[in-house]
Amino acid sequence: MKFAEASAVTRVSPGTYTAESQPGWDIFGVINGGYTLAMTARAMGEDAGDRQLISISGRFVNPTPVGPLKVSTETVKVGRSLTTMAATTSFDERTTIISSASFSDGKHGGVNDQIAIHSSPPDLPPVDECVRLTPSPDAPLPPPFTGQVGVFLHPDDITVSDLTRARAPTVRAWFRLLDGELIDPYGLVMASDALPPAVFNSGLPMGWTPTIDLTVHVRDPGPHEWIRCSTTTRFINDGLLEEDGEYWDLKGNLIAQSRQLALLAR
């Protein structure tokens, strides 16, 4: 099933949408957070009309299982160039995500050329020299979700066990959707949570690293075929870690950024 179909929403009344989180888009029974947030963003995007998603933040209140979801949306403000939305996503009357988002008409009157300060795309070998993550029936990792998308890890960033020697907590990868599907802004939201946690490459124990909140800024809505991804963790304090993500197109332009707060695996 293509991502657009798997993340589709249906309007049932003003401000109320339904969606269906699909089997196989999960991390061992819990639906991937970026995928769920993308469905929430689609519902808000329906109410935002022809304005484009530029930023979304989600607070993950409860895990999202496979099955029917309800998204309740609210238009907070419609301005001259920006629309601000809010949404609550729930499963069986239990809140799973509380979100807010901004949608733009793209008319901000700024400099059109991108200016990158002290940043550049990750150094990645050709795709055929990277390692695609695919689920295995004989191993707990990678999780089922990786079978629904194309994640091709830099060979230096593959962690095979929690005994792996300590590395810089960074993960670099190529990312694409399957069957020729292009990546739109909602695909970028999903991609922001598609890589293994960068902290797995720090020598710390591997395990469930649940997301507390996730913010994604869309800098170029695309569509994109391939993107270059890099996620990094710099600080771990009191069992909490941040993970910063950068997503670049093939021309070297930054197309999205993310920041995630998560719990360190116990």
Phi and psi at residue 44, in whole multiples of 5°? -65, -35
Rounded to whole angstroms, the Cα distance separating 155 from 213 reads: 29
132, 114 Cβ separation under 8 angstroms: no
Place 161 in a pLDDT band, splitting at 50, 70 and 90.
Answer: very low
Q: Which residue spans within the chain are E strands per DSSP?
A: 9-13, 16-21, 26-27, 30-31, 52-60, 67-78, 82-91, 94-104, 131-132, 150-153, 170-176, 211-218, 227-232, 236-237, 240-248, 254-263
Query: Token pair for residue 192?
Result: 């922001």
Asked if residue 250 has pLDDT above 80, the reply is yes
Residue 29: burial class (beta carbons within 10 Å; 0-12, 13-18, 19+): exposed
Cα dihedral 23, 230, 217, 63 in deg (nearest 10) = 30
Tell me the pLDDT tens digit for each residue of 221-241. 999 999 999 999 999 989 899
167-184 per-position pLDDT tens digit: 668 999 999 999 999 999
Instruction: Specify the pLDDT at position 115.
Output: 61
- Give the SS3 label for residue 138: coil
Instruction: Inform me whether the pLDDT recorded for 23 exceeds 80.
Output: yes
Locus of tokens 């909140």: 213
Phi, psi of 38 (to 5 degrees): -65, -40
